[in-house]
Structure 1
Amino acid sequence: MNIPPWAVTVGLVVIIIFAAAWMFSQRTDKSKGEDAEDSHQSEAVSVDATLINVPLESVAYLLDMIENRIREIGETYQSNGRSYHDDLEMTALRAMSRQLGFDFEVSSISSGFAVTRHVHQPV
């Protein structure tokens, strides 16, 4: 089976975010004095309702990964709707970066994309 590189990158980012969420949920369960297994079995929380706190050290690492992936996409990107999956992936990556408080300005250059990171200003 041939898995596209964008799927691997998105999968890795999702795994990292869920691993960070799991680590921090374990820490808060222990600080409350509850048994971690009992608290996870008693309440079912959807992923959409869970906020994830990412340490500042990890934010820079995640943003670097996102920025590198956008540059990789730029190397093979085709305009006029011929890279629809790349468009979807870049939209998802930028949405993740906005949740971390940053955004990327992406512009086309002859060798791919020029990517500039800046602080996200919500509208």
Structure 2
Amino acid sequence: MTHRFDIRVYYEDTDLAGIVYYANYLKFIERARTEWVRSLGVDQARLKAEEGIVFAVRRVEADYLVPARFDDVLTVETKLEELGGARITLSQAVRRGETACFAAQVQLVALSEAGRPMRLPAGLRAALAAG
């Protein structure tokens, strides 16, 4: 299943050339991941408070394909690729209509508040697998 999240490009997202500044794609896909998890019924603040678990990005492989520009409406697509004991691998794409502007493979890890990897609880694992 693919989660979709729409974002409009604002002036603040662009560089002097009027195209989306490269680092802002990482912000776009971060927002989309947050909304993906939320859409699965996972409250990250409660997860931290009750289970002591937070998610951190371990690795990102990114490809900048076609520039997006001011006022474009983009769709971020997020798809679960792999669910490990403490690791989650996602593919994410930023599209303008049918045109892919940016693509990334993102590896997340579940961490304790002390920064150590933690296994995903069964309920959380089931919610993520369903999405």
TM-score, length-scaled by structure 2: 0.32
- Higher strand proportion: 2
**Structure (1 or 2) with the greater helix fraction:** 1
- If you compute each CA radius of gyration, which structure gives the higher value, 1 or 2? 1
